[in-house]
Amino acid sequence: MKKNVFITSTGTDIGKTFLTIMLIKRAIKLNLKVNAIKPIISGFDLNNLYETDTGIILKALNSSSTNIDKISPWRFKDPLSPDMAAKNEDRYIQFEDLCTFCKNSINNDMHDFNLIEGVGGTMVPINNNYTIMDLITSLNIPVILTIGSYLGSISHTLNAYKILNIHNVNISSIVMMQSDVNDVGCEKTLKSLENYIKNTPIIYFKRNDFESKKVDKILNYL
């Protein structure tokens, strides 16, 4: 059975790419034909390709650097929101083109499992009129909400969770990555969140935690 998923977050540097790589590697081990894209990336440096999210995804897919446009066709130098990064280069991201690129990826019958990694959080501006939330609703596929365990994450998570629900998005799971800075603790953060989130499974990974059973659970929720 074909599975598609959009990986979003409460913000930047939360752990979306780390989760994407875990899912790619586990799916490959399960003999699934996997494809993954990160259509938009800012703060991109071609000279350090394999230190960027795009390069990390290419490596996980065992794909050549010549396939960079198949992973991230919208690449920007400045580490800013897509609308601002594009403007600095006198460019503009056409929302319709972005949607078409993503839909072509998830509709490709060559793959059993398609991942789309977003940029930043749920409401990051793509251009003057559209946000990542508009892309998510347009694609109409399950979403994994990636969160942290830092101080403030609970509020950020509940805000993102609410806006996703308002738009009737299928949130297959919430995945918490232990934060490096201002870490409150995964268990404490989970206990608080469970008071407010009743119907969506929450799975957490502590640093250097690669437990395959947890990854399998995420895959099974899709």
Residues marked as catalytic: 38
Find, among 95, 105, 122, the residue nearest to 61 by Cα: 105
d(CA 20, CA 56): 10
Strand duo 3-9 + 113-117: pairing? parallel
Provide the 3-class DSSP secondary structure of residue 145.
Answer: strand
Helix crossing, 53-60 with 16-29: angle to 10°?
10
Amino acid symbol at 144: I
The CA-based dihedral angle spanning residues 96, 61, 149, 184, taken in that order and rounded to the nearest 10 degrees: -150
Helix crossing, 95-106 with 132-139: angle to 10°?
40
Phi first, then psi, for residue 140 (nearest 5°) are: 55, 50
Please report where in the chains the tokens 């990636």 appear, as a residue.
146
